[in-house]
Amino acid sequence: DAKTTQPPSMDCAEGRAANLPCNHSTISGNEYVYWYRQIHSQGPQYIIHGLKNNETNEMASLIITEDRKSSTLILPHATLRDTAVYYCIVRVWIGSFQKLVFGTGTRLLVSP
Amino acid sequence: NAGVTQTPKFQVLKTGQSMTLQCAQDMNHNSMYWYRQDPGMGLRLIYYSASEGTTDKGEVPNGYNVSRLNKREFSLRLESAAPSQTSVYFCAGTGQFADEQFFGPGTRLTVL
């Protein structure tokens, strides 16, 4: 079962910041939050991940609340090519092995 | 460096037919995965292979078998295809300590 909850869709104007929320209230202390996106039914593409500190890379920023029950993915200057389904994922442990548990994602539409 | 490749890209089967979906990676991944994605849904894990020579069931293994032929190749077999197996199938790989799963382009399977 997915451990995350996301809004089904969001809109954003080109050039503006896109802020995608995610709830993961049952996350365990050693489980990471991952974000992937999927464009036009291609294979999902990794964006960013974090445990409890905020993270930033060339694609996005990840803000995780202090209680770790929710997070926000920020695309600072959305472009039309950022239109995609964004998945917030918890990486869970199965013994010594880790797996990603996908939810249904947020469909982000970036408009001119 | 092709990353993760999948063959075929498209396939149409009749109910009861069998086929094997092929996946290969040239990124020296230890772990490999097979997912399926139904329309409007997130990815669900079918089988995974934590390392060469081992395979384990994921969330939805019924009707499928897998073979980790060597470190590079991980195949998914449908012995007797059913319409419920119509889906897009994604293969992915990751290293033992890697933080990112790399996905292939997918195989679109229709079972009539």
Question: pLDDT tens across A83-105, in order?
Answer: 999 999 998 877 767 788 888 89
A86 and chain B in contact, CB less than 8 A: no
Tell me what pLDDT residue B99 has: 73
What is the rounded average pLDDT of the residues B42-66?
Answer: 92
Look at residue A82 and give its three-state secondary structure: helix
Neighbours of A75 (CB within 10 A): 21
pLDDT band with cut points at 50, 70 and 90 for residue A7: very high
CA–CA gap between residue B19 and residue B109 (Å, rounded): 10
Give burial (CB, 10 Å; 0-12/13-18/19+) of B96: exposed
Query: Nearest to residue A61, comparing CAs of A28, A100, A17, A108?
Result: A17
The whole-angstrom distance between A85's CA and the closest CA on chain B is 10
Q: Is residue B1's pLDDT more than 60?
A: no
CA–CA gap between residue B37 and residue B60 (Å, rounded): 11
What is the rounded average pLDDT of the residues B67-88?
Answer: 95
> Which chain B residues are Cβ-neighbours of A102 within 8 angstroms?
35, 42-44
A35 and chain B in contact, CB less than 8 A: no
CB contact under 8 A, A41 and B106: yes
DSSP class of B85? G
Nearest residue of A to residue B54 by CA position? A97
Exposure string of B6-33, with b = 16+ CB inside 10 Å and e = fewer, is beeeebebeeeeeeebbbbbeeebebbb
What is the rounded average pLDDT of the residues B62-84?
Answer: 95
